[in-house]
Amino acid sequence: MSAISLRGYILSPEGFVRGELIHEDGRVLRLQGDPATESEVLLSPQPIVLPGFIDLHVHGGGGHDTMSGGDAVAHLARQHARHGTTALLATTMTAPRDEIEAALRALAPYMHRPVEGGARVLGVHLEGPYINPGRLGAQPDFAATATLSDVLALHALAPIRLITIAPELPGHLELIVALRDRGFVVQIGHSAGSYEDGVAALAAGATGFTHLFNAMTGLHHRKPGMAGAALAHGHFAEIIPDLLHVHPGAIQVALRCIPGLYCVTDSTAAAGMPDGDYRLGRHTVTKCMGGVRLADGTLAGSTLTMDQALRNLVSMGLPLAEASHRTATLAAEHLGVQDRGRLAAGNWADMVVLDAQLAVQQVWVEGRAVI
């Protein structure tokens, strides 16, 4: 493949430059140009080139649900690529063991080849069943305690890159140690645990928190809860910036406290679809009034896309470069992925090109134009 050039305002690891990015054979060859200020970037009609978004929490999109098996992941990868996501983790739901195994078997082939016109599937985020049955959120009621052999058996079906665990369940602290020693990235989530449980889990090797504030014990000045442990000691945590799951003020608090606060969509099959009913694992959920809910009104994932997440952060006052950092770079760092999330020589040519209104104009996945 011959070299391809993109011109405009390009976000390099050192900041914006007005110039050119050249990529070939799926990798960035070089960036060249003159430094530019963010105000210059946003006032110019020239294209804005950012690292492609990385979403570590994707249940579905475009009418397709990860747990449905078949080619669902290919459809959702294409749906999210249209909104600038260039890499993602296909995320499971709590379910009976055989249903999780079937979903992982269907996902496995897509871990080893690109999805035509879609985001790269980096692996699996196993969200459930190893969660607290008292903090299910929208998860079906099939929570279970885990053993190392359980997790390794699932990992043999499809590569688990991230796993959500409630650390207060019996044996789970010891499991976190064992998973850490084997290279798994562990997040705390769907937890009724205390502040002390959270601190102990971090000491054992957990490195992040799943959808901060949601489905965990909240912050109180005499009972700081799991949210308090995240704010006081967390380095990485997911946040769902749809402005429904978390109030903008709470997002601002988390931004001040957690250096590695990164954005996820927690998107469902309803993302990119009209109002109506959709599958979320074993649940039927309803998209209406800008969100997705169970019949009892419980928020059940989202319809968020990462381009809207970026715009929401900017609308809250974050600089565009920081918003990009929290929608791409930090997720790659949390997974230990060195060659994505930054536009630098040698990295994958994963890029999203925006206009001055931050609307998606082009998306490149590993040097291939997908829109």
Q: Which residues are catalytic?
A: 266
DSSP string computed for 257-291: H-TEEEE---B-TTTTS-SEEEEETTEEEEEETTE
CA-to-CA separations, 292 to 188, 193, 278, 283, in angstroms, rounded: 23, 26, 9, 12
* Strand pairing class (260-263; 236-239): parallel
Angle subtended at Cα 191 by Cα 185 and Cα 194, rounded to the nearest 5 degrees: 105
Calpha distance 125→164 (Å, rounded) = 8
Q: Which amino acid is at 146?
A: A
Where do we find the tokens 């993302």? 271
Q: Where are the beta strands (DSSP E) in 76-227?
A: 85-91, 120-127, 160-165, 185-188, 208-209
Calpha distance 251→270 (Å, rounded) = 24
Calpha distance 108→31 (Å, rounded) = 35
| 173 within 8 A of 204, measured Cβ to Cβ | yes
CA-to-CA separations, 5 to 16, 18, 341, in angstroms, rounded: 17, 13, 19
Calpha distance 310→99 (Å, rounded) = 34
Give the bridge partners for 310, in sequence order.
none
Calpha distance 214→247 (Å, rounded) = 11
Angle subtended at Cα 102 by Cα 170 and Cα 238, rounded to the nearest 5 degrees: 55
Calpha distance 50→37 (Å, rounded) = 15
CB atoms within 10 A of CB 13: 13
